[in-house]
Structure 1
C-alpha cells in the first residue's frame, strides 16, 4: 500500500515537471537593463518584436493572452523581456519598471505597445476595398489579387526607417520570386513624379502605388511607418508589422499554410 502511494506521488511530481513550459531565466537582467535608455533600447529593438507570435506571461510567469499582455504594456508600468527556452517558442514576460529608470523607457514602451495593440486588433479582419494603379499603369485591386498572399509595405520618401529596409525587402521578393501566389505591393504617400526620381536612385522591387497618403492615414488609420500587412488568400489581414525582421518571420509562416 505504501509503495503504491510513493509511486503515485512520484508520478504526479513527474507529470508536473514535464508539463511545465520549457522556459527559464530572463535572457538579460530585467533591472540592470533599465539603467540606461540606450542599453535598454539596443536590447528592445533587436530582441523584442511585439507583433510576432509568442507566449505571453505575467509577472508571476502565468500565461496570459496577447491582448492582455499588450494592454498591460500600453497602460501599465512594465517592460517585456524574453526568457531563455529549450524550444523554438518565444516566451515574453512582464517585469516591473524600476522607480529610478529613465522615464523615456516607459514612454517608448507605452507607445510601441499602443501601436502593437492597433495592429493586433486588425488581424483577422478583411483588408479595406481598394482599386489603384501602380507607377507602371497596372491595376491593383482586391479582386485582381484574390486567392493570393499579398505583402503590402506602407511608406514615404522621407521616412528613414522605410528606406533603410529597402535592401532587405528586395531580398525578400527575390526569395519568393518563383511563388506566383505571393505578390508584393507598396503604398507610398508621394506623387508619381517624386517616386520615379527617388526610385531611380533607390530601387524597390515592389509594385509601387503613388498618392496613398489619404488612404493610409484615413482608411488604414496608420500612424507608424513603415507598416507591413500580410493578407491571406481569403483577403483577410493575417499580420500587421512594423519592421522587416517581423515581416520575414511572419511571411515564412504564412507561405507554408
Structure 2
C-alpha cells in the first residue's frame, strides 16, 4: 500500500512538473535581470505586451491576457518571455526579488497599467470624430466606413514619436496600393507649428492638428506615441505603443 501511495505521489509530481515545463524555460535569468534597474530596463525594451501572447502566472498556469496585465499593474511581478519560435510569444510572471531596486516595481506597475488600459479599449468603437486635416479634408467616422484606419497619436516635442517617422513612413509606402487602408495622425500642435515642423521632417500620414483635448478626453491617452488600428466597422482592434508592434498587428489585420 505504501509503495502504491509513493507511486501516485511521484506520478503527481511528474505531471505537475511536465505541465509547468511544457512551455519552455525563460530566455533570460529572471533573478539576474533584477540585479540593477539598468539590467531590467535593457531587457524590458524587448517586452511587447500589446502583441498576442500566451500568458502564464507565477506557477506556470495559463491565464487570460487581461488577468496577466492586471497582475502586472497591481502586483509584485515582472514579465519574462519563455524560449519559443520567433513569432510565438509566451510570457510568464516572476516574483520581484525583495532586494530589487524599487524603481523596477514602480516602472512595471505603470507599464502594466498602460497595457491593461489599452487592452480594454480593444473591441470597442472608436469615439465619434469629425476632423479636418492640414489640407482641409474632412474626415469622419462615416467617411471612413469600409476602411482599415491606422492612427498615430503624437506631438512635436515627443522624441520617441519623431524617432519612428522613418519607420512609419516606410510602412505607409508598403501599403500604398491598398486603397482600403488609411493612415491618419492626431497631433497636439497647431496647424502653423505642424506645417513648419513637417517641412523639415515629413510624415506620410494625413495630419490632424489641435487634437490635444480629443486625445486627453475622448481617448484618455497618457503615453505617446500611441497607435490605433480600426477595422472596417470602426472598431478598435489594437492599441499599440510602438512601431514594432504596429507593423506586426497591421500585417495581421490587413489579411483578415
Q: TM-score, normalised by structure 1?
A: 0.90
- Name 1:11's counterpart in structure 2: none
Offset of residue 23 of structure 1: 2.5
Q: Deviations over 1:65-107 (max 9, x none)?
A: 0111001000000000000025742100000000111111111
Structure 1 outlier segments of 4+, above 4 Å = 16-22
Contact kept in structure 1, 2:20 and 2:59, CA below 8 Å? no
Matched, 1:145 2:177: no
RMSD between aligned residues:
1.9
SS at 1:114 equivalent: helix
- Name 2:101's counterpart in structure 1: 102
Question: Tell me, which stretches of 5 or more residues in structure 1 are unaligned?
Answer: 1-15
Offset of residue 17 of structure 1: 11
Contact kept in structure 1, 2:80 and 2:94, CA below 8 Å? yes
What aligned pairs does 1:165-180 form with structure 2 within 5 A after superposition? 165-180=164-179
Mapped to 2, the partners of 1:51 and 1:237 lie a distance apart of: 13
Q: Deviations over 1:37-67 (max 9, x none)?
A: 112111111x211111000001111100011
Mapped to 1, the partners of 2:245 and 2:87 lie a distance apart of: 15
Contact kept in structure 2, 1:22 and 1:86, CA below 8 Å? no
What aligned pairs does 1:9-88 form with structure 2 within 5 A after superposition? 23-45=23-45, 47-86=46-85, 88=87
Mapped to 2, the partners of 1:82 and 1:172 lie a distance apart of: 27
Aligned pairs, number? 242
Mapped to 2, the partners of 1:216 and 1:182 lie a distance apart of: 22
Offset of residue 201 of structure 1: 0.6
Mapped to 1, the partners of 2:115 and 2:85 lie a distance apart of: 27
